[in-house]
Amino acid sequence: MKNKASSNEKNRVAHLGRKYSLEHRKSISESLKGVAYLCDKRGELHPRWIKNRTLLKDDHRDRGGQLHREWSGSVKNRDGWKCRINNENCNGRVEAHHILGWTEYPELRYQINNGITLCHAHHPRKRAEEKLLIPEFQRLIGLSEEINCQSDYRYRQC
């Protein structure tokens, strides 16, 4: 049985010996000038280089790390590895969802009461949906009004 040639190999063979017009070669040369410019601007030479690396945003640096995995497991264990909405539409794997957002509330990232277990069908797809569902998620996990008021002044209902 013969091995099938890869797409790259097929392209290479198809273009062997092809003659390009002077105009086409100039356009290729012009388009590659931008690439060469970017290659020269790496590291400290790049216009947006930040010398003090502590100034970088670390929004997603810890996501997927050990603390996040432990938090996710704790939330799922608390909820019995089942979607808290739990209706006939539930399907797909379960996910630990942050009730108050990861980036907006870094101090609440690893608090178990800031998480809820949802199936893939019920996990909010848009930020606007998430914000509307915050009170419902908090009700589902049984947070008291006191905790709701402490979590953020924007969501106070006291």
Question: pLDDT (tens digit, 9 = 90+) per residue, 87-133?
Answer: 777 888 899 999 988 888 888 889 999 999 998 888 887 777 788 88
For residue 145, give the 3-state DSSP assignment: helix
- Euclidean distance between CA atoms 30 and 79, whole angstroms: 59
Residue, of 38 and 44, whose pLDDT is higher: 44
In a domain, 39, yes or no: yes
For residue 117, what are the β-bridge partners?
96
Share of the chain above pLDDT 90, in %: 13
In a domain, 132, yes or no: yes
- Euclidean distance between CA atoms 65 and 109, whole angstroms: 12
Q: What residue type is assigned to position 69 of the chain? A: R
Task: Please give the tally of structural domains in the chain.
Answer: 2
pTM of the entire predicted model = 0.51
Expressed as residue numbers, the domain containing 34 is: 7-44
12 and 79 both lie in a single domain: no
For residue 76, give the 3-state DSSP assignment: helix
